[in-house]
Chain A
C-alpha cells in the first residue's frame, strides 16, 4: 500500500475529472438563439400561448406526446436548456408540473416571465389541478400571458393584443357552448376514473361521483376498497350516466371499471392530459363538449 500505488490510481482519476471539467467549460454549439422564444410545459398551454405569441415569438412545448404521464415526467438536459434560453415560460402549475418550477428556479428566469395557469384568482391550494379543462382559468391565463408578451416584447404589443382578442372570442364561444349544454345535463350523475374531468363537469353542472377513487388513481396509490365497491355498484346499477377516463393512464383498476361500464351500456368518454397533435385548444374542447352532449343524449 505504498505511495506509488496511490499515485497510480490517483492520476487517472484526477485526469478524468480534469478532462470532464475542461470539456464542460468548452464553449461548443448551443449558442443562445437570438429570436424570442416561449417554452410551455404541456402542449395544451403551449397551443394557447402560440395563438397569442406566434409568429413574433417561437413557441415550443416540452410534453407533446400523450404517451407520457405529466405527473411523473422528469425533464431532460435539453428541456433545461430550452427553459434557460426562453424569454417566457408557461406551465399549468397547481403541483401538476413541479419540475417546471424547478427548471425556472435553476435558470434564473425572472418570476414575471413565468406564467402559470394556477395564478388565476379562482384557484386555491388543493383544488383540481387540470386547469386546461377549466374554461375560466383558460380565459384568465390567456389574458395574463398576453400582458407578459407585451412586457417582454413591447415592439409587437399591438399584434399580441390583436391575437389575444381573437383567442378570447374563441374561448368565449366555447364557454357559450358549455352554458347552452348546461341546462340539459345539469344534475346528471357522472363519474371518471381520474379527476381530469372534474373542472369541465362542474362547469356543466354535472354531479361528479366517486371522487375518492379518482384521487387515489391520480396519485398512484391503491383505491380504497369501499370506493371501488361503490363505483362498481353504481356502474352495475346504471346510476351513472357517463364514465370519463384518462387515455394516458392505463391502470388495471380503471380498466376493470371501463369494462363494467361497457357491459352496463354506460357511455364512455375518453379524455387526455396532452392534446392530440394538429388541433387547437378551442377545437379540442368544443368537440369534447359536443361528444359529452351526444353521449348524454342531448341533441345540439
Chain B
C-alpha cells in the first residue's frame, strides 16, 4: 500500500491534519464552539468559489474565506447570547455570496465542488508542503494563546477581571480554527470537517482527561481515524471520507459507552 506515492502522501497529509485537529478540536469542544468549525469550513467554500471567479487557486480562497469568517464571527460574537445566531448568520451570508460567485462563473465549477468531499488521494507534493506549513502555523499560534485561552474558556469572568482581552482571544482562536479548517477540508472535504476535528476531541473530553493529556488523546484518535480510514478505503474501495466519518461516529460512541459503563 505504501509502495504508492499517492498513499504515502495521503498518510502524511492525514498525520499533519490530525496533529492540528486534536488540540484545536479540543479547545473547540471545551468552549462549546464546535458549530463554528462546521460553519467556517462552509464559509471557506464560498471563499473558494470567489477565488475561482477571480482565477485564483481554490485553496487560497478557502483559507482566506475561512479566516474572514472567523474574524467576523469573533467580532460580532457575544459571549452570553446569540453565539449560534451570529455563526448561522455569517454562514448564510457567506453561502449566499458563494452562490452568487458560482452564478457569475462562466466555466466549470468543478475545482470548487471537489472541495466539498475532499480529495485526500489527489494531494500532490506542493500541496503537502502547504499543508505542513499550515500545520506549523496553527500549532505555533495555538501554543502562544493556549494558556490565556484555557483560562478564558474555563473561567471567563475571572479571566476578564485579570485583564485578559476575551474578544481578541476569541478572534485569534477563530483564525486558528479557520486555518485548521482549511487544511482539514483538503482531507475530509468541507462537508465533513466536523468528523476529524470534533469527534476525537469530543470523545477525549468525554473521558475526562487533564488538558494536555486530553489534547494528546484527541490527536491520537484523529490520527487513528484518518489512517484507519485510509486503510479501510484501500481495501473496500469506498470513499475515504465515508470511513473517516463512520470512524468518527464510532470513536465518540465508544467513548460515551465506556464512560457510562464506568458510571461516570
State the A residues within 8 Å of B (CB).
Answer: 1, 6, 9-10, 13-14, 16-17, 20-21, 23-28, 30, 32, 71-72, 74-81, 83-84, 94-99, 101-103, 105-108, 125-127, 129, 215-216, 218-222, 224
For the A-B complex, the count of residue pairs with Cβ-Cβ distances under 8 Å equals 149
B2 proximity list for chain A (CB < 8 A): 24-25
Give complex CA distance A9, B214 in Å.
11
8 further interface pairs, Cβ-Cβ under 8 Å (given A20-B227, A96-B108, A96-B110): A13-B217, A79-B121, A95-B108, A99-B122, A102-B124, A106-B121, A218-B109, A221-B103
Decide: A98 near B110, CB < 8 A? Known: A1-B210, A24-B1, A24-B11. Answer: yes
B126 proximity list for chain A (CB < 8 A): 105
Q: Find out whether the CB atom of B99 lies under 8 angstroms from the CB atom of A20.
A: no
| Interface segment out of the listed B40-48, B64-72, B229-237 | B229-237
Minimal beta-carbon separation of B224 from chain A (angstroms): 5
B4 proximity list for chain A (CB < 8 A): 80-81, 84, 107
Minimal beta-carbon separation of B258 from chain A (angstroms): 9
Question: Which of A6, A17, A20, A75 meets B122, CB within 8 Å?
Answer: A75
Minimal beta-carbon separation of B126 from chain A (angstroms): 8
Question: Which of A24, A77, A78 meets B227, CB within 8 Å?
Answer: A24
Query: Considering residues A6, A219, A222, which has the most beta carbons from chain B within 10 angstroms of its beta carbon?
Result: A219
Decide: A105 near B103, CB < 8 A? Known: A17-B220, A95-B108. Answer: no
Interface hits, B199-240 → A, CB 8 Å: 207-210, 213, 217, 220-221, 223-224, 227-228, 230-231, 233-234, 237-240
Minimal beta-carbon separation of B37 from chain A (angstroms): 22
Q: Find out whether the CB atom of A129 lies under 8 angstroms from the CB atom of B107.
A: yes
Interface residues on B, range: 35 or more
Considering only CB atoms, which chain A residue lies closest to B255 in the complex?
A: A9
Give complex CA distance A25, B224 in Å.
15
B223 proximity list for chain A (CB < 8 A): 17
B127 proximity list for chain A (CB < 8 A): 105
Secondary structure of the B side of the interface? helix
Interface string of B44-85 (1 = CB under 8 A from A): 000000000001000000000000000000000000000000
Q: Find out whether the CB atom of A103 lies under 8 angstroms from the CB atom of B121.
A: yes
Give complex CA distance A14, B105 in Å.
47
Minimal beta-carbon separation of A96 from chain B (angstroms): 6
Instruction: Tell yes or no: B35 within 8 A of A by CB.
Output: no
The 5 closest A-B pairs by CB, nearest first: A102-B122, A105-B124, A106-B6, A80-B121, A95-B108
- The contact sample of 22 A-B pairs, CB cut-off 8 A, is A1-B210, A6-B217, A9-B217, A10-B220, A16-B224, A24-B230, A30-B1, A72-B110, A72-B113, A76-B233, A76-B237, A77-B233, A77-B237, A81-B4, A95-B108, A106-B5, A106-B10, A107-B6, A108-B5, A125-B107, A219-B103, A221-B102
Q: Find out whether the CB atom of B110 lies under 8 angstroms from the CB atom of A74.
A: no
Give complex CA distance A127, B107 in Å.
7
Interface hits, B80-139 → A, CB 8 Å: 99, 102-103, 105-111, 113-114, 117-119, 121-127
B108 proximity list for chain A (CB < 8 A): 71, 94-96, 129, 218-219
Give complex CA distance A129, B5 in Å.
30
Give complex CA distance A77, B234 in Å.
5
Decide: A74 near B117, CB < 8 A? Known: A6-B209, A17-B227. Answer: yes
Q: Find out whether the CB atom of A20 lies under 8 angstroms from the CB atom of B231.
A: yes
Minimal beta-carbon separation of A196 from chain B (angstroms): 12
Considering only CB atoms, which chain B residue lies closest to A108 in the complex?
A: B5
Question: Which of A16, A23, A95, A224 meets B110, CB within 8 Å?
Answer: A95
Q: Find out whether the CB atom of A26 lies under 8 angstroms from the CB atom of B105.
A: no
Decide: A84 near B5, CB < 8 A? Known: A17-B220, A76-B238, A77-B240. Answer: yes
Minimal beta-carbon separation of B123 from chain A (angstroms): 6
A77 proximity list for chain B (CB < 8 A): 121, 233-234, 237, 240
Decide: A126 near B106, CB < 8 A? Known: A78-B237, A102-B122. Answer: yes
Minimal beta-carbon separation of A105 from chain B (angstroms): 3
Minimal beta-carbon separation of B110 from chain A (angstroms): 5
Instruction: Tell yes or no: B9 within 8 A of A by CB.
Output: yes
Question: Which of A97, A106, A220 meets B9, CB within 8 Å?
Answer: A106
Instruction: Tell yes or no: B161 within 8 A of A by CB.
Output: no
B5 proximity list for chain A (CB < 8 A): 84, 106-108
A126 proximity list for chain B (CB < 8 A): 106-107
A23 proximity list for chain B (CB < 8 A): 1, 231
